[in-house]
């Protein structure tokens, strides 16, 4: 039995952060009903990462909305709003990421929803919190990265601010929201009462940086200093970074320079002190790079790993996917939606009792399950007024 089997989740969210939280709950066994706008549905359906779509929807939408049912509602119509209110009375979890104030105007803010269903776990993710001068601003990933400080940790010293090449704020906010939802469900099992769970893209990014921000807050407020060459972490000394080899790239993690000097071998490293490893970081990195580039990556791995030097080959996706280590994780699957459209995608990252959740159902078409859901829950049929 899946851990969340029997729980009903209403996913009223769009784009990435909220839907990713609902996806995780679905992976853990919950039933997820995605409530979408009649007609166009979730805007993410047409938010293309490339010019590739699958069955008329973006690959992004397919990735983040697999294993969900779609109920199409026009929340400007009283009869459809009544349908949603009825579902709220039956749900265990509601996920929404409307801009602050929008869901309150629909009459389904936290207080109104709790009055309908005191056991409801009501989860919301915003851009920058529900109050304050940034609350009305668009909660978009790149914009959140830009105000969070994280862009000053990437790239080299002379690069200016460099964003992470992923929708990291959205993904992290979804994970944080999932943690809060699960904690609230545990408490509900004890007290019988629901809860309001909230986070934001900005809070998720601040938490992402907790290690380095703590350093900043306790060393006189000094700004992080990225390396000018092969930067990998603004606060870590040489040799930490990624280096070119004759046929690829090799990553070196933190280690005493003396250990690396003996193993490469590179005796010139012995003249540097532990303090030099940071203060002369670029100089040391260039010295290491000048040595590594003369041999293949496999040569260095065979030499360094037996000496317990922390290192790894830098793989691209094709080589990762072909590796035995990756295949053993069994992280890929092919799902299909109701019209038979196949989508190759990932599986959930969590294993429970040694098993990874599996579901062959892909992301739904807009309103694919509307008629069946209305019949199952005794809701007013499409086009008819609420009772």
How many helices, marked H, and strands, marked E, lie in the chain? 16, 13
Distance CA 210, CA 280 (A): 26
Examine the residue annotation and report whether 316 is marked as an active-site residue of this protein: no
Q: Which residues pair with 243 in a beta bridge?
A: 250
Phi/psi for 294 (5° steps) reads: -90, -5
Phi/psi for 54 (5° steps) reads: -130, 115
Contact 200, 18 (CB under 8 A): no
Contact 9, 32 (CB under 8 A): yes
Q: Is residue 207 exposed (0-12), middle (13-18) or buried (19+ Cβ within 10 Å)?
A: middle
Distance CA 198, CA 124 (A): 5
SS3 per residue for 150-212: HHHCCCCCCCCCCCCCCCHHHHHHHHHHHHHHHHHHHHHHHHCCCEEEEEEHHHHHHHHCHHH
Preceding omega of 313 cis (within 30 degrees of 0): no
Catalytic residue among 53, 141, 170, 282: 170
Distance CA 100, CA 97 (A): 8
Helix ranges (DSSP H) in the chain: 17-27, 59-64, 78-90, 102-105, 110-116, 141-148, 168-191, 201-208, 210-218, 257-263, 276-279, 281-292, 297-304, 317-322, 324-329, 370-377
Catalytically active residues, by annotation: 170
């Amino acid at each position: 039995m899946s851990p969340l089997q029997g729980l009903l989740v209403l996913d009223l969210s769009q784009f990435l952060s909220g839907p990713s939280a609902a996806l995780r709950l679905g992976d853990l066994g919950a039933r997820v009903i995605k409530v979408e706008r009649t007609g166009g549905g979730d805007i993410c359906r047409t938010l293309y990462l490339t010019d590739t779509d699958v069955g008329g929807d973006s690959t992004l939408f397919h990735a983040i909305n697999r294993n969900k049912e779609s109920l199409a509602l026009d929340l400007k119509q009283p009869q459809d709003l009544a349908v949603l209110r009825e579902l709220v009375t039956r749900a265990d979890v509601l996920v929404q990421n409307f801009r602050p104030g929008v869901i309150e105007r629909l009459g389904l803010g936290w207080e109104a929803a709790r009055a309908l269903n005191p056991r409801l776990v009501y989860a919301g993710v915003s851009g920058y919190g529900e109050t304050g001068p940034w609350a009305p601003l668009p909660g978009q990933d790149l914009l959140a990265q830009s105000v969070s400080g994280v862009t000053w940790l990437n790239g080299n010293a002379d690069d200016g601010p460099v964003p992470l090449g992923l929708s990291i704020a959205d993904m992290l906010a979804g994970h944080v929201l999932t943690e809060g939802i699960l904690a609230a469900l545990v408490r509900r099992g004890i007290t019988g009462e629901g809860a309001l769970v909230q986070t934001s893209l900005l809070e998720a990014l601040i938490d992402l940086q907790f290690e380095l921000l703590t350093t900043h807050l306790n060393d006189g407020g000094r700004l992080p200093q990225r390396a000018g060459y092969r930067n990998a972490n603004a606060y870590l000394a040489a040799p930490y970074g990624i280096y070119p080899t004759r046929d690829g790239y090799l990553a070196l993690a933190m280690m005493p320079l003396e250990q690396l000097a003996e193993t490469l071998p590179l005796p010139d490293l012995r003249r540097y002190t532990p303090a030099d490893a940071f203060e002369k970081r670029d100089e040391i990195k260039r010295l290491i790079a000048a040595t590594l580039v003369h041999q293949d990556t496999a040569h260095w791995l065979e030499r360094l790993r037996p000496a317990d030097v922390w290192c790894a080959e830098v793989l691209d996706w094709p080589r990762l996917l072909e590796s035995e280590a990756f295949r053993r994780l069994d992280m890929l699957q092919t799902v299909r939606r109701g019209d038979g459209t196949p989508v190759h995608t990932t599986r959930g990252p969590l294993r429970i009792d040694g098993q990874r959740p599996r579901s062959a159902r892909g992301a739904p078409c807009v309103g694919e399950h509307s008629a069946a859901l209305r019949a199952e829950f005794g809701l007013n049929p499409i086009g008819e007024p609420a009772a």
